[in-house]
Amino acid sequence: MDFFISSHDMGDPFFWIQSILISLAQGGFILGGLIFLGLGLLITYSEIFMGKDQRITKAKIIGVRVENSKTTSSNQNMYYPVFEYVGDNGQITQAESLSGSSYLRNKIPGSFVKVKVDADTQDWVSPVGLVWLIISIIFIGVGGGMIFGAATFAKITFITIGVWGLFFLQIALKVRKSKIIIPKGLRGTKESFKIRLNHQKNDKRRTLPLLSAQDVAILLKKEDLLQQRLYPLVLLVAMTIIAGGYYLYDKEKKFIESANVTTGKYVKGNGGYTKIIYRDESNRKLSYRDEFARFFPSSFSVNSGSKVRVYYLPKSPSEVVVNRDIWQGLYYKLLMGIGLLVLIQSTISSIRRKSRMSRI
């Protein structure tokens, strides 16, 4: 953090405009990161910890309610399983699922799953699984990454702090005026909220059509046929990603092998980039804008004056590849890795689909 700025920059109007715009962008990313982080922590807490009136039990899926794609915001059919389980009184209890998704394969009638039951609303349960934990970990990672990236994107000065303060103050005032937060005296109890929410869900959910095991089997067969037809296209995309990653990696490797090597020095800029000053074989002073310096561990924390190896073409010294040590070609390797994962996963899924379709 470099809180103070030079007197030269203080008198530069462009510096003020640039600093304010960058600070606003940072504030927006930090707000987004806080939202993702908060949601991730909330989901993790709700999945791992249980209240004193909650328990986990085994339940049987007896049907699936379907909400037509025309009435959903995602333009996809939403599926909600309906369960049967042994209630607290020892009797069979039928319950609706608090959550649903467009994925049908994990909602096959006749299969058994674990659900979380709340004593106050036993006719509404939450399926227990790793999906929400994985989602929460992704949210926490994305949120933390956004906050960290925004905070380190550019140096933090008193201008940054001032802009952030005004930014979040404006958001707080808008939230207060919008009456999202209910005054303490007007808030209902937790039990009354659950009862009201339960009635609202009942009115909407129980009107949805209920699919039988045969209905679900027909839908899954259609889904398998469609995905199997798309498999060659997915295979082509995966191989293109792998080939593209390898082409870029090989191109950079050949560039380094044929390039001249010199030592450059980092000079930090005001924005999210770091400038490198270097000299070619004729001792001509050149500069290169290293916009990816902050995205590599080898150059993330460099200071002004830090040295770095620079590869440049003798015939075109302005064409540069910066040395990243063991991280050289990292993004191209990641690209090949992603393509390989897609290739393996899609092939395994295709084999499983063929096996299922042969039994129908």
Question: Rounded to whole angstroms, how far apart are CA atoms 120 and 123?
Answer: 9
Kind of pairing, strands 274-279 and 210-211? unpaired
pLDDT for the residue 48: 79
Q: Tell me the pTM.
A: 0.60
Residue 211 makes CB contacts below 8 A (sequence gap 6+) with 63, 64, 65, 66, 79, 109, 219
For the chain, 360 residues long, the average pLDDT of each consecutive 10-residue run is 49 68 80 91 82 84 85 74 89 88 88 87 84 89 87 71 79 72 55 59 80 90 91 96 96 94 80 77 89 70 78 91 88 95 94 80
For residue 262, report the phi and psi dihedrals to the nearest 5 degrees: -140, 170
Question: Rounded to whole angstroms, how far apart are CA atoms 131 and 298?
Answer: 34
Residue 48 makes CB contacts below 8 A (sequence gap 6+) with 133
pLDDT for the residue 197: 63
pLDDT for the residue 8: 47
Is residue 128 within 8 Å of residue 118, measured between CB atoms? no
For residue 344, report the phi and psi dihedrals to the nearest 5 degrees: -65, -45
For residue 274, report the phi and psi dihedrals to the nearest 5 degrees: -130, 130
The phi-psi region of residue 280 (left if phi > 0; otherwise alpha if psi is between -120 and 50; otherwise beta) is beta
Question: Rounded to whole angstroms, how far apart are CA atoms 241 and 246?
Answer: 9
The token duo for 100 is 């649903």
Contacts of 302-306 with CB under 8 Å at 24 or more apart are 302/266, 302/274, 303/266, 303/268, 304/266, 304/267, 304/268, 305/265, 305/266, 305/267, 306/265, 306/266
Does domain 53-127 correspond to CATH entry 1.10.760? no
pLDDT for the residue 232: 95
Nearest 5 degrees, angle CA 171-CA 25-CA 179? Answer: 10
Which sequence spans correspond to the domains of the chain?
7-45+134-210, 53-127, 212-360
Q: Is 338 exposed, middle or buried (0-12, 13-18, 19+ CB in 10 A)?
A: middle
Listing from the earlier edge strand, what are the strands of the sheet with 320-322? 285-290, 274-279, 260-268, 307-312, 320-322
User: First CA to last CA across the chain, in angstroms?
Assistant: 64
